Amino acid sequence: MSELDGLDIAILKAVQADGRISNAALAERIGLSQSASSRRLDILEKSGVIRGYHARLSHKALDYRMIAIVHISLSGQFARTLTEFEAAVRLCPNVLVCYLMSGEYDYILRVAARDLEDYERIHRDWLSALPHVVKINSSFALREIIDRPNVGLD
């Protein structure tokens, strides 16, 4: 963040709030010409500060009413074990997030399911079949309180 100046931060705030903002509107909002705004946005994208633009879909509207938090323990944390697990978990379409963890569990996953029966299918067909898994502990979210797509830029 130390390399980003005030204009970069303003651009990031604007595209976080509206990823479909036109360059003309962005330039006006941050007080630059359209060409300067476009150049800065391009630099932020190419440097990896902006990783992409996405539509945030409603899981409920798509009939995914259940979110499971899944703790996974592997048989070990050897490089090959982790690599094989991570390659396999990427293929599961219901896994929304996967983190390698320190502490008691090796990974924590956020999994979307339509209902308990669908989660049972995901658990049976996907999670239990992941390589090197020795323990799966699932908890079910009762209510979403916060789901921030981005960090604050203040």
For 69-116, the pLDDT digits (tens) are 999 999 999 999 999 999 999 999 999 999 999 999 999 999 999 999
Residue-level pLDDT at 1: 47
Task: Please tell me the predicted confidence (pLDDT) of residue 88.
Answer: 98
Q: Which CATH number, 3.50.50.60, 3.30.590.10, 1.10.10.10, 3.40.50.970, labels domain 6-46? A: 1.10.10.10
Residue 19 has pLDDT above 60, yes or no: yes
pLDDT surpassing 90 at residue 139: yes
Tens digit of pLDDT for each residue in 126-138?
999 999 999 999 9
Q: Is the pTM of this model over 0.85?
A: no
**What is the share, in percent, of the chain residues with pLDDT greater than 70?**
98
CATH 3.30.70.920 assigned to 66-140: yes
Q: For residue 2, what pLDDT is reported?
A: 61
DSSP assignment of the chain: -TT--HHHHHHHHHHHH-TT--HHHHHHHHT--HHHHHHHHHHHHHTTSS--------TTTTT--EEEEEEEEES---HHHHHHHHHHHTT-TTEEEEEE-SSS-SEEEEEEESSHHHHHHHIIIIITTSTTEEEEEEEE-S------SS----
Given a cut of 70, whether residue 57 has pLDDT beyond it is yes
Provide the residue ranges of all domains of the chain, joining segments of one domain with +.
Answer: 6-46, 66-140
